Amino acid sequence: MMAGQATFPPPFKTLFSKEQLHTRLAELGAEITKDYQDVGEDLVLIGVLKGSVIFMSDLCRHINLPLSMDFMGIASYGDGTKSSGVVQITSDLSKPIAGKHVLIVEDIIDTGLTAHYLFDNLKTRLPASLKMCSLLHKPDRTEVETPINYLGFSVPNNFVVGYGLDIAQKYRNLDFIGYVEE
């Protein structure tokens, strides 16, 4: 190996393979397609930057409806490993969502604090409906209960990485979800 070259991918344990992710996304997409069949052109997917970008780009191709997409940048303050629930919008939606059927697309719900903030914030903008789709959920870490209308997988209390999820901004481009062994 050349000096400065890092091993890639690092030795993460696989939690969900590329194939498992593909299968689950196809199921979620079919469920969402069925549920939003009658909303016409008014379905808006809102991706929460940056973790949901890979999930959202694959998921939207399994939804056979004329949807639109927007993104919201969120910074959550905490001690580095734990979110405090104090959330700042770093980049807001590009368009109003009043009267639209909004589906928030998240990478992972951990304590639930970010999702809770998002629900409260987006509700004030008077969407016709507001639901949550999250790829992952860590039920053991819940501090605030938030509805998850569409869930990919529940995961144990390990730090997970890949397929959009990062460690210090790295490894979002892994095509599987892995975890760091304690």
Backbone angles phi, psi at 64, to 5 degrees: -95, 65
Applying CB under 6 A, the residues found at the interface with ligand IMP are 51, 76, 83, 106-115, 159-161, 165
* Eight-class DSSP state of 8: S
Nearer to ligand IMP, 20 or 76 (CB): 76
Nearer to ligand IMP, 42 or 110 (CB): 110
Q: Which two tokens stand for residue 147?
A: 């509805």
Whole-number minimum distance, CB 22 to ligand IMP, in Å?
20
Q: Which value, in Å, is the radius of gyration of the alpha carbons in the chain?
A: 17
Whole-number minimum distance, CB 114 to ligand IMP, in Å?
3
Helical ranges in 41-127 per DSSP H: 53-59, 113-123
Q: Give me the active site residues, please.
A: 110
Beta strands in 11-128 (DSSP E): 13-16, 43-49, 68-78, 83-91, 101-109
Whole-number minimum distance, CB 78 to ligand IMP, in Å?
8
Nearer to ligand IMP, 115 or 132 (CB): 115
